[in-house]
Structure 1
Amino acid sequence: MKVIQEILKEQLANIYLIFTLARYDIKGKYQLHYLGAAWQYLSPALQILIYWFVFGIGIRGGQPVDGVPFIIWLLVGLIPWFFISPSIIQGANSVFTRISLVSKMKFPVSVLPSVTIVSNTFNFIVMLLILGILLVIYGINPGVYILQLPYYLISLFFFLFSITLLFSTISTIVRDFQLVLQSLTRMMLYLTPILWDMSRLPVSLVKILMLNPIFYLIEGFRKTFLGQGWFFNDLIYMSYFWITCILILYIGALVHMKFRKQFMDYI
């Protein structure tokens, strides 16, 4: 666990650097577009309308899910996904795209995935606030379950940091991995409970899909915003999630520390 401690110390010691680089990343991402940062919200809004029309109107015929309007049920799953998906893809590519710039200076390379996560966090927070307004408009009150939101946010950030640390190293060493990851991420959209209700699937199949940590996170956000249950109701599944994340972080830290000095050899 020494490698994990070393990686985490680098994040804490360079927290100001992480937020500074994230701020520049946000400014530079859309500066060449006429609508600028508005694309951060226009693109997800267009996708939401398409998914709502296809799955909500076309497939379900406008029927609610467990008494919840489909558009709200869909948003609670899609908003975390719009944060998870780009963070994983961009985070996996973060070391490769910047290593040539920082290779000649003493720079903590492990913070690069964190920069990507933080730069996507602002958009995520805004979308969560919009979701809160829509919940009020639709008269949906999560009640005391909203108190567990910090737990699921911590779980989300821990998972993203762990997975991007590992993937950024693999993607730098094996460039084909980035293309494979993009395909797998698109597939995950349909293999997690984001667009459709999995209660209709066989229990055995659902248990297989639950092995994906993203499944735990999406269901957790639905439990929180729709008032469907506490995170500690299923201690076995919660333990599985955290053990998996810690294992991913350990492997990611181990691989990163082993290859970080040779990153330039793979560029």
Structure 2
Amino acid sequence: MTKATVESGEWPPGISFLRLGSGAALVYLPGLSGSPHLPSGAGLWMQGRLLAPFARRREVVWLHWSEGLEPPVSMAQIAARSAAAIASHLPAPVDVVGVSTGGSVALQLALDHPHLVRRLVVVSAAYRLSDHGRLVQRSLSAAVHTGHTRRAGAIMAAEVAASTPAAVVFGAAGWLMGRSTFAHAGAELLAVIEAEDDFDVGERLAEIAVPTLVIGAERDRFYSPELFRGTAERIPGGWAIVYPRAGHLGTTLHRRYHRDVLAFLDGR
């Protein structure tokens, strides 16, 4: 865990949060999770490592936006819950970073609640999933729905890799950890997957009026470089960065990731 003190709590309407660092508020919307609870143990340590470079210069507010969801639910409804928490507890407008499925939520937030967003960073996400990405998440949903937790772990882990050999190794590791990773997965995860399956805001991107950065990976299996660049191109003043030879997981682990995000948020 990082040396920064991490505060946790819950805001209406049932949005749990982690809070660390100091400075201007940075809302961080994480990706899909197999657990309906806040991260703890190794999961909390990993989130702390990921957020630490931001927390040195910002007050990072990590929102557990998927907690308490039940299908059917839309991405607009999911974003509205985060919007209510931000409006009630933070000095809006705030900078927003959304990662993976959290990036979909962030785009919807900027579209439906523009007064809450100062600058937007969409990481490992685009205005819709690729066709392959949708198939993967439907397979994940089926595995969770039928209680095949090891299969769910293998599916999720394999698809974040950047190459076929890595996918084999990651998939095996995911299978071994699947029972613990998806032990508590249920209605919330299924609701989010269903919402993202329908998510496509390509025709609305021109409505986003805040500076926006899209960061993706060349070998992302859920999206594609064309989707990342296409998302930025449709947003007035949008920018795209695509990291070469990286996969879905490798985007936030890339050596340039924190530097690129902070430079953009600081207007550089």
Answer 1 or 2: which has greater helix percent: 1
Greater Rg over alpha carbons, structure: 1
Structure with the largest fraction of strand: 2
User: Which band: TM-score by shorter chain?
Assistant: under 0.3
Scaled by the length of structure 1, the TM-score of the pair is: 0.27
